[in-house]
Amino acid sequence: MTVRQSTVDAVIIGGGFYGSSIAIYLVKTRGLRRVILLEREPWLLTRASYNNQARVHSGYHYPRSFTTAFRSRVNLPRFVRDWPQAIKQDFVKLYAIARRNSKVTAKQFERFCHQIGAELKPAKAELKQLFEPRLIEDVFLVEEYAFDSTRLAEWAVRELKYAGVDVRFSTRATAIFRSEADNNLTVAIQPESGGASSITCKYVFNCTYSGLNQFSGDFPRTQTELKQEVTEIALMQVPEVLKELGITVMDGPFFSMMPFPARGLHTLSHVRYTPHFCWKDEPGIDPYKKLDEYDQATRVDRMVRDAGRYLPAIRNAKYIASLFEVKTVLVKNEGDDGRPILFEKHEKLPGCYSVLGGKIDNIYDILEKLETEEFKSSLE
């Protein structure tokens, strides 16, 4: 094993939206100078940051978690302001409330939207007609957007370059160590091309989403318990009548159909069929490996069959492909479906932070936490 040593300010592990944004923030706003970003894939934002439903949440989705709904209301305008080039607004957004098996009634949903200050209007008759009235109690027109993650990736590439961050692709961090002598941290790395080495730094930001606990060395694992879920989102070419629509059926074992701007298609996800299987996160159970080893047989037929009962026109959609990914959620939010953040400062590994945002717009909640931390460049 060849060992190459160099001391830098910070190592960011994970080049998703979170790792990229944090690297840019540390240089631009906090004055760190030598920052390295490690990404196991050959490009930025190719994992959860791409393989998702692309919904910029604005609260409607979370009638069972007031905090998540409220934070979404706060973060939405900031996200739209900061990444206007990635936002798709020009579609009609509908929330339909199921008559049976829904955890909210239409009345309760209206009241909830009012409480969180989210705009809601009755949908026009021609839009309501798309739904099966025996199964759908009411349909509302809402204000919700979609994001194009390829545009976010373009932003990240540009800003990282501008900030002078050293981005290393196809490079996996495998272990994090503490050096008792000088209070530095060491990250062991394994590039795909071979030749393991290590980097010494003052700070480590573990932004690996599904991979948060897959480090050896002195990394203590996160205190927050995580659940890993292999998910499938189907990419569909929808018939003309659904093209300009985003539809969410609430609130239970139903489905959503949202524009997916990165491919000019729609996603179809179903609460019952999108999660294929799950497990409790453990060090040593590599989620990426588990997903690679899974046969990834699509469940799109079942998604369309069930969704077609509520929205008959979806039966004419054409299946294009599936996005399989590992979704990581906090165990404590399984019941209320909330999507808060994980932000851990590891006491036994000073200078090391683990972060996870349950939604793309949670980035502001993470940056707010970082704002209160003290960072010093070793070059000062």
Using CA atoms, how far apart are residues 364 and 317, in angstroms rounded to an integer? 36
CA dihedral 71, 76, 78, 83 (to 10 degrees): 140
Helices 363-371, 66-82: axis angle to 10 degrees equals 90
Stretch that binds ligand FAD, among 48-56, 115-123, 296-304, 305-313 (CB under 6 A): 48-56
Contact set for ligand FAD, span 219-248 (CB under 6 A): 231, 233
Q: Which amino acid is at 41?
A: E
Using CA atoms, how far apart are residues 110 and 218, in angstroms rounded to an integer? 50
Using CA atoms, how far apart are residues 199 and 186, in angstroms rounded to an integer? 5
Nearest CB to ligand FAD, comparing residues 96 and 187? 187
- Shortest Å distance, C-beta 247 to ligand FAD: 14
Nearest CB to ligand FAD, comparing residues 246 and 351? 246
Helix, strand or coil, per DSSP, at residue 236: strand
Nearest CB to ligand FAD, comparing residues 132 and 282? 282
Nearest CB to ligand FAD, comparing residues 44 and 238? 44
Instruction: Establish if 358 lies at the interface with ligand FAD (CB under 6 A).
Output: yes
- Shortest Å distance, C-beta 265 to ligand FAD: 15
Using CA atoms, how far apart are residues 248 and 96, in angstroms rounded to an integer? 6
Contact in structure between 207 and 14 (CB atoms under 8 Å): yes
Name the DSSP class of 79: H
Nearest to 327 by CA among 13, 49, 21: 49
Q: Which two tokens stand for residue 163?
A: 């900030």
Cis peptide preceding 301, ω within 30 of 0: no
Instruction: Establish if 327 lies at the interface with ligand FAD (CB under 6 A).
Output: yes
Q: Which two tokens stand for residue 254?
A: 């139903």
Nearest CB to ligand FAD, comparing residues 79 and 106? 79
Instruction: Establish if 26 lies at the interface with ligand FAD (CB under 6 A).
Output: no
| The only residue of 9, 12, 15, 24 in contact with ligand FAD, by rule CB under 6 A | 15
| The only residue of 9, 10, 11, 17 in contact with ligand FAD, by rule CB under 6 A | 17
Instruction: Establish if 68 lies at the interface with ligand FAD (CB under 6 A).
Output: no
Nearest CB to ligand FAD, comparing residues 71 and 172? 172
Contact set for ligand FAD, span 181-210 (CB under 6 A): 207-209
Nearest CB to ligand FAD, comparing residues 111 and 332? 332
- Shortest Å distance, C-beta 317 to ligand FAD: 19
Q: How much helix, strand and coil, in percent to the nearest 5, is found in the chain?
A: 30, 35, 40
Contact in structure between 17 and 156 (CB atoms under 8 Å): yes
Instruction: Establish if 47 lies at the interface with ligand FAD (CB under 6 A).
Output: yes
Instruction: Establish if 151 lies at the interface with ligand FAD (CB under 6 A).
Output: no
The residues that touch ligand FAD, with contacts defined as CB under 6 A, are 13-19, 38-41, 45-49, 51-55, 57, 172-173, 207-209, 211, 231, 233, 325, 327, 356-361
